[in-house]
């Protein structure tokens, strides 16, 4: 059984990411469940800012809730949740009775099986590698494989990509503790995206998408910022 774990950002501040993810799963006839009120913050922000005890309490609650749900696969559209659930939970709470996947890993399998088919598009897209999904987890090819599978879509890389990609500035407590630095980092990354001539800047992390979208607004940018599930649903519709 698959359990979708949206995470705090997609639940409260970037709701269209969670909605688009759910719509994609439904279009592919994927049966899934949600924890609802039993889903607590994954604890990522607590861990990254050194509040280990609170983070561990969150982890233990979520592990217990997931086990009680009967799910054997946990899917999340948040790169921070993915890294925390997959790596930190096992390190700090012991071996897990469930597998953890980023939603893109599930989607690429569904595309390969023909469960998701995209119409042709003329969009030119550039992809921003989230730190937690890229450098922390090594998932560089999966998002690009999805984009390359869409007929007519042109994927254009920024000057710095994959393991050399600039951070958007939103993670690790930087945005909360040093908002001006966070904005500067997002503005710099946005400029790199604009230099590609892309119509859309996409990522696979609500933190990255939120920060880069705000940067686009601050800079009156013509580039649109969409999280991957949002972009995929737009193309499907």
Answer yes or no: do 123 and 208 share one domain. yes
Q: What is the pLDDT of residues 48-95, one digit of tens each?
A: 889 999 999 999 999 999 999 999 999 999 999 999 999 999 999 988
Answer yes or no: do 44 and 122 share one domain. no
> Which domain range does residue 90 map to?
2-107
Question: What is the DSSP track for 121-171?
Answer: ---EEEE---TTTTTTT---HHHHHHHHTSTTPEE---SS-GGGPPP-S-S
Answer yes or no: do 84 and 14 share one domain. yes
First to last CA, the chain: 27
Answer yes or no: do 69 and 28 share one domain. yes
Q: What is the pLDDT of residues 98-139, one digit of tens each?
A: 999 999 999 999 999 999 999 999 999 999 999 999 999 999
Please say which residue of 44, 78, 107 terminates a domain: 107
Answer yes or no: do 94 and 130 share one domain. no
CATH of the domain at 199: 3.40.50.1860
pLDDT at position 224 over 90: yes
pLDDT of residue 193: 98
Please say which residue of 107, 139, 170 terminates a domain: 107
Answer yes or no: do 163 and 69 share one domain. no
Residue 16 belongs to a domain: yes
Residue 78 belongs to a domain: yes
Q: What is the pLDDT of residues 164-209, one digit of tens each?
A: 999 999 887 788 788 899 999 999 999 999 999 999 999 999 999 9
Answer yes or no: do 9 and 36 share one domain. yes
pLDDT of residue 85: 97
């Amino acid at each position: 059984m698959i359990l979708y774990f949206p995470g705090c950002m997609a639940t409260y501040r970037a709701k269209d990411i969670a909605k688009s993810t759910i719509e994609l799963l439904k279009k592919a006839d994927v049966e899934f469940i949600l924890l609802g009120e039993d889903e607590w913050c994954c604890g990522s922000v607590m861990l990254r800012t050194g509040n280990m005890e609170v983070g561990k309490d969150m982890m233990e609650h979520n592990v217990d809730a997931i086990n009680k749900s009967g799910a054997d696969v946990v899917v999340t559209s948040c790169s921070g949740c993915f890294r925390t659930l997959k790596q930190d939970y096992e390190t700090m709470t012991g071996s897990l009775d469930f597998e953890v996947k980023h939603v893109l890993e599930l989607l690429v399998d569904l595309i390969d099986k023909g469960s998701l088919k995209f119409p042709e598009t003329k969009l030119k897209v550039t992809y921003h590698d989230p730190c937690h999904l890229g450098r922390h987890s090594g998932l560089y090819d999966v998002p690009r494989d999805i984009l390359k599978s869409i007929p007519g879509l042109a994927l254009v890389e920024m000057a710095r990509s994959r393991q050399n990609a600039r951070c958007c500035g939103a993670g690790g407590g930087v945005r909360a503790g040093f908002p001006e630095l966070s904005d500067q980092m997002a503005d710099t990354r946005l400029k790199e995206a604009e230099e590609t001539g892309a119509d859309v800047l996409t990522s696979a992390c609500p933190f990255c998408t939120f920060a880069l979208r705000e940067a686009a607004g601050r800079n009156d940018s013509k580039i649109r910022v969409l999280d991957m599930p949002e972009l995929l649903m737009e193309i499907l519709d």
